[in-house]
Amino acid sequence: MKKAKKSSVAKWSLPTVLAGLHDDIQKRLEIARKTLVHPVAKGDASEEVWLELFKTYLPQRYQAAKAFVVDSTGAFSEQIDVLVFDRQYTPFIFKYNGQTIVPAEGVYAAFEAKQTVTSGLVKYAQTKIASVRRLHRTSLPIPHAGGTYPPKPLPYIFGGVLSFESNWKPGLGKPLLKALAKGDPDRRLDIGCVAAHGMFTCNATGCHDISPLKKPATAFLFELIALLQNSATVPMIDVRAYAKWLAH
């Protein structure tokens, strides 16, 4: 009697796959910290690690880039390390001298990315996200076969920080949560990842650390996707509000 052949189908392990995603992110951030001496070079390398993660794993309706945000009044945000924006319904994304400029209506989230999270980084990130949230956003009525739908409410813009390690001990303890709680709603950071320690989330009721986590980068990615899934689609942009600047 012939022996049954062993199955040639690979035995996949979802925990192994998910763990590998985090390990890759953490290893690349750690290499950048150990090998690059100049702080700017370290920061640039950190941004690229997170940008590649977003570009690879976020649904294709979203795009991620280092960018400025502009509104129809001509106001600009500060430069955002990792900006998550719509590419499906936003009719134009400017490219100028190697810089990316995104209309305010297309923005979903903005992150500051550095090697180490500190109180200074938290304040800096809060200022950056506030510069985006305070921009003017248009929203037009949406035509359909039977008439028009009213203008969509403007979706909330998420803000956060991304880093490899923390300047505090424990990495995500009360000092970090206290720093996150400061400031007005425009400055609120909603989510962040410290790859070597864990992640945090904030809402109207306060901030909460989720640590220790075995694989925080993967957990953060899933939480961000969940937040984006629950967010409304970007509004119908008033292109003519931008076109008026052609007369200047």
Instruction: Report, as residue numbers or ranges, the catalytic residues.
Output: 81, 112, 114
CA–CA distances in Å: residue 193 to residues 50, 114, 201, 233 = 10, 11, 9, 24
Are 64 and 78 in contact, with CB atoms under 8 Å apart?
no
Q: What is the DSSP string of 135-158?
A: S------EEETTEEEPPPPPPPPE
CB 33 within 8 A of CB 195: no
Interior CA angle at 126 toward 124 and 128, to 5°?
70
Which CA distances in Å does 151 have to 3, 87, 140, 158, 242? 68, 20, 5, 21, 18
SS3 of residue 101 by DSSP: strand
Amino acid at 115: Q
Output the six-digit token pair for 1: 């009697």
